[in-house]
Chain A
Amino acid sequence: MTNTLHRYGPPESFRDDFIVFIRNSKGRNDVGSIPKLKEFLRTALRHRPVTISQYRFGSTVRPAEHLNPRIHWTRPVQDLTAEQIIEAITKDHTVAAIFDTQEAMEAFLREVKAADWGLSVNVAGLTAPVHACAKRAGIVRHSVEYSLGFQGALDRLPERPVLELSTMCGHSMLSPNLARKMLEWVREGRRTPEQAAATLGRFCSCGIFNPARAVRLLEAAQGGNR
């Protein structure tokens, strides 16, 4: 699943987008890994992440199976607390914490190194700052997978602001049409950037949609920029 590898945007578009995730490898270090995953997220919470998530479960925003129609008047921008996400971990799926500053990420990586869980930890984001932060935290990176961007029938892709939002679900569960609709609703004052980001986030089944970056991108529409 290359769900965090190919996000669309120029380099400056990723200044506030660092996804730190931890996972096991079946048959090698999966025994007893669930408490480590929970500890990873609890440690992350001390460094004020944008959000935390578990793959296939999602993040603090989630769809509901039986909604009360009252919701059209009272929709919250957060459906679950961070603690509820951690409590919900019953399977050893990958978990992630998203940071919007290099400083917070670096401080977190220091603690991750000290904790020595023995599970694989990866950071998806701008490779140069990640390399630098890891070094300062005393970590030598092991491997890198570079995104070479998109090629082929590029004229089938939508416009840049839409792609910047919709590719934050790397599984493509977040439709460009919905991203465009939310950009327009923000431009029209029908939703705040925070509300629109919550709506979009509900479509990311892994919870690695970065609501802070989304709010920033949506705020641009609010100012009459394309």
Chain B
Amino acid sequence: MQIDHGKCVACSNCIPVCPMGAIYIDPAVNRATVNLDECVECFTCYRGMSKEHLNPSLVRTIRGVLKYLRIRFDPEPDVCPTDALTPQELSWPRIVRRAFSDPLVPHESTGIHGRGTEEVKTNDVTGRVNEGEAGFTIEFGRPGVGVRFRDIQKMTMALAPLPIAFEKKNPVFSLMSDPATGTIREDILNEKVLSAIVELKTTLEHVPQVLQVVEEVAPDLETIVSIGVATRCDGQGNNALEPMLKREGHEFYRGKTNLGLGRRPAAASA
């Protein structure tokens, strides 16, 4: 994202809006400026702020006079008065940032597949995670920190030797140059994104092993890691994962429950 210095009036409204804190007023030019190294191209500023189309010179003059009197206009906080936010044309590898950070971007247009797959949300229809299996979603960067692929690679390389299978229909997987070792394409390692989710599947007995590796690697990363574990329930709605996690000392009380109301079209017509 860029900010048109011809339009910007340095009102600062866009600064707290940025999830990465990447926007600042450059004191040399007195205009809002994006730190492009930290910007994850999530487009939150561009999409979330309402826009006015005031004359920049007029607004700057009024602001300047008021400032001399130690007075500030006290506007609605989510408005860009001069429509100064200007998206740039993104090319590889920077386009990876947007693919992983902007939830509204059509993934296909970037050449990278989805921000995550359907996880357990459609497990009643897809049967991705079966009884006795555990599906992991390991998410990096949220809330509000962001992550570079270099850090994600540290985790995927530590996980690869375990008896696990990375989900193939996953955007991070599609960026691995060697999934067997968890190696990620060299040319994107420095790209920063708002969130990236690694998905993998293993059998229930290996759940503690995976959790242990994640816990060991996570403190070395310059980001936040959040873990989800999914499993298939039996006919009574019970599962073996919950008591196992409790035995391992993991506290949890919140999650996503698939009610099992979905059907495959084939079954419906039969």
Q: What is the interface of chain A, defined by CB distance below 8 A to chain B?
A: 72-73, 184, 187-190, 192, 221-226
Contacts and interface: CB of A to CB of B under 8 A. Distances in A.
Contacts of B24: 187-189, 221-224
B12 interface: yes
Nearest to B13: A188
Contact of A222 (B12, B22, B27): B27
Given A188-B12, A189-B12, A189-B30, A226 B21 contact: yes
Contacts of B34: 224
A190 B12 contact: yes
Contacts, number: 45
20 contacts: A184-B15, A184-B16, A187-B12, A187-B21, A188-B24, A189-B24, A189-B26, A189-B30, A192-B27, A221-B21, A222-B24, A222-B27, A224-B22, A224-B35, A224-B38, A225-B22, A225-B38, A226-B20, A226-B21, A226-B22
A225 B10 contact: no
B259 to A, nearest CB: 31
Interface of B: prevailing SS: loop
A224 B23 contact: yes
Given A221-B24, A224-B23, A189 B10 contact: yes
B70 interface: yes
A220 to B, nearest CB: 10
A222 B24 CA distance: 6
Nearest to B19: A226
Contacts of B90: none
Nearest to B72: A190
A140 B16 CA distance: 50
B33 interface: yes
A106 B172 CA distance: 51
Given A225-B21, A226-B20, A189 B38 contact: no
A69 to B, nearest CB: 10
Contacts of B20: 226
Contact of A226 (B12, B26, B38, B70): B38
